[in-house]
Amino acid sequence: MKKHNFNAGPSILPQSTIENTAKAVLNFNDSGLSLMEMSHRSKDFQAVMDETEALFKEILDIPQGYSVLFLGGGASMQFCMVPYNLLEKKAAYLNTGTWANKALKEAKLFGEVVEVASSKDANFSFIPKDYVIPTDADYFHITTNNTIFGTEIRKDLDSPVTLVADMSSDIFSRPIDVSKYGLIYGGAQKNLAPAGVTFVIVKDELLGKVSRPIPTMLDYRTHIKGGSMFNTPPCVPIFGALQTLKWIKGLGGVSVLEKMNIEKAQLLYDEIDRNKLFKGTAAVEDRSLMNICFVMNDEYKELEEEFGKFAAERGMVGIKGHRSVGGFRASTYNALPRESVLALIDCMKEFERKA
């Protein structure tokens, strides 16, 4: 039976990424060595790193004056690296969900943190609007897509101070104006690569301004100077990222992916809104294109477990909602084919008929 992978992360990857990485793990470039056992200082791997960085910059149209880094530690490490490097006196944070809240909590270790707005009281079901960003803040931090609650900021905000964004789960899903951001970071395990590598896009001129000493490994300048190889990088995930970047370029870039993502999400949201059994949990105007969250309507709550089993029997993988919120979540990342969305819709219709 064909499996339809809606996992939230690690998640579906392009088939070419999986196949090419598997081949390289067995025998990289006919070298007789596995990618897993090659020196990261070899010419072969340096070429991988150089091409990955170049394609990353090309596909996102990153301007001069920005560095792209490939690091370890996940996005969660960035929750402390960002304030370590950028927070001198005050930072501003928009609290839109679990990960935004964790980033905010870490920043408080380094200085004053202003929560400019939060949707916590409404179970993070919407993106706050009409808030004021303090102009004396060192930076303003946002989480563009909220995987657990299914909301997304789908435009590049105008900020009077340096804008920092966690784009772990929607990077490469749409064109972005990188010049509006001082720093963008994310774990790669949603839209880019196997888990284990974290990307950072940082404006060089922002660095070296804080008065505190920064541990060597937590200083972005260390990794810029070392070309993301101050220490051994996560070689296999970086190679996987390169394969995905090639796939994106082959499709025609992020503008093509955005159109595909809008279509996939709209199909599923239309079914959720039509089907008597289900309802969406996010405010309509803030619905995510990446993580589509829904629950059973109140009168059908007792059917939740039954639908989960019904869907699993038909090849749906990973549609159970995050353990903290329950319900269902279909992650429709870049590599998820339209065919999988249609299969889930058919499954929902079939269950409705038998309910």
Cα separation, 306 vs 316, in Å, equals 13
Options 170, 190, 247, 264, the catalytic residue: 190
Cα separation, 19 vs 61, in Å, equals 27
CA angle 98, 126, 335 (to 5 degrees): 70
Cα separation, 244 vs 12, in Å, equals 11
Of 166, 110, 108, the closest CA to residue 141 belongs to 166
CA angle 229, 235, 236 (to 5 degrees): 165
90 tagged catalytic: no
Angle between helices 235-251 and 254-274 (to 10 degrees): 90
50 tagged catalytic: no
Cα separation, 200 vs 224, in Å, equals 10
The three-class DSSP label of residue 177 is coil
Options 138, 166, 170, 286, the catalytic residue: 166
Options 30, 89, 90, 99, the catalytic residue: 99
190 tagged catalytic: yes
Cα separation, 322 vs 317, in Å, equals 14
As beta bridge partners, residue 5 has 317
Q: Which residues are annotated as catalytic?
A: 99, 166, 190
